Structure 1
Amino acid sequence: MSRERSRQSRAKRLLAAGSVSLVGLLLLAIPGYDIYSDAWMEGKSLWSTLLENSILVALGLVVVATGIWLYTQEWTDARVVRTAGWCVGGTTVFSIALAWILGIQQYVQGEYKPLVIAGGAVVIGSMGTFAAGIYDSGQRESRAKLQMERDRFSALFRNTTDAIGSVAFAGNDVTLLETNREFDRVVDDVDRVVERIGEAHDDVRGYRAVHETVARGESFKVNLQLTVDGEDCEFIVQVVPYGDSGAEAFLVLTDVTDQ
């Protein structure tokens, strides 16, 4: 990856993760003001207002820490930005909903109704957890489909003369998950092979080009020359993404030396 592209990537990730931490700091301002108001302006005991706001303070700190954690993850830039967008967008939607409730009570009805406010917060929270439940069930279903996909390809691994291996991408690393015998014979350094696949696919970005193409769910093929058992062999290499993670793919190497 070029230096300019690397700087852009870091800036994008920093902006996305920083926005999450900023949301956490803004959320901390709410219990912070309440603690100040209770203890220093109204003379209430400090321990009681700290106890009252302890959950909100803890949750705010968790959001701040989540932003820092998000920046350190070896995810694709798109995944970091998308995750941050959900956090910031969700907070904005919930804030608008509560502001609507408070505005109606103050300017239309002329009084605040604590039970209604609390009930509104619970309803909004329940919608959030419902969305999380949909996401979780979808993830479980995706994992089940992925396992079925792996089982199906396991049979292919055993019944083909092509060299086939499955790999997972994370940051600048590639991990070999499963291979057949032919792949083990043909490929002695998967990192170098993936780098060469990237150079054949995009001679500027190399490995990153493979990772980003897999993340988009796009298959591609390249011609590659490898030395196998001391002989130069020509291969058609297919990179086939699978699953929903955007990080896993099959490498299928077909020997076309004699063709």
Structure 2
Amino acid sequence: MATSKASKVKLDPARIPAHIAIIMDGNGRWAKRRFLPRVAGHKQGMQNVKTITKAASRLGVKVLTLYAFSTENWKRPGSEVNYLMRLPVDFFNDFMPDLIKENVKVEVMGELDDLPPQTRQASEKAMADTANNTGMILNFALNYGGRDELVHAAQKLAKQVQEGELFPDDIDDRHFANALMTGFLGDLADPDLLIRTSGELRISNFLLWQIAYSELVFVDDYWPDFSPAALEAAIAEYQARDRRFGGLKNKTAIFW
């Protein structure tokens, strides 16, 4: 279900989703509508990360996972990729004082070894500088792909079996979840709410295992226009839904 421009809503503070994941889509189209180069949309989108990070933290969200760069995004023009690789460096340099002030802890997951050295180093420094923060976790998916993650998890478990650390029959949901890139999040690894901006109705290879029972909200706003009010509207839609995780609340109603 797609939602449009948001107005102020009333939220139940006791039912704020613990983990929100966002596919930040529409930067290029935002720029095109304004007759600007695509990179201008990416720059504005990164500015909006600051706004939404603060809003989510102040609402009581525990984990905010943002799809920043996919394993497929390398197919874009070289000039655009180079600009996107520079954005995390500028973002962390500029936003670090606010992250510290907000008590936000930065995590970055993905194939970090394949990033340009400057991008990888900026990411590692941000994680180190905020390691002792105890507030919301701002988790960037950078050079990340859901299928790639599943393959690496399978390889990791296969290696454990090969080395005698694990029997094949011991592999269950918990073992597999712990082998994923979100394993460090423990019980918070699975998003309660997944939001995609720009009106597109796709998952785009994002958190394929983790969103098995997530509530999905698709909004029409391009990411640079996605406001704190729009975030609250998405949370309100989440709170209005009945999450059953495959079961029934009224277990007597088994035939209809």
The answer to whether TM tops 0.5 is: no
Which protein shows a greater Rg?
Answer: 1
TM-score (norm 2): 0.22
Q: Which has the higher contact order (CA 8 A, sep 6+)?
A: 2
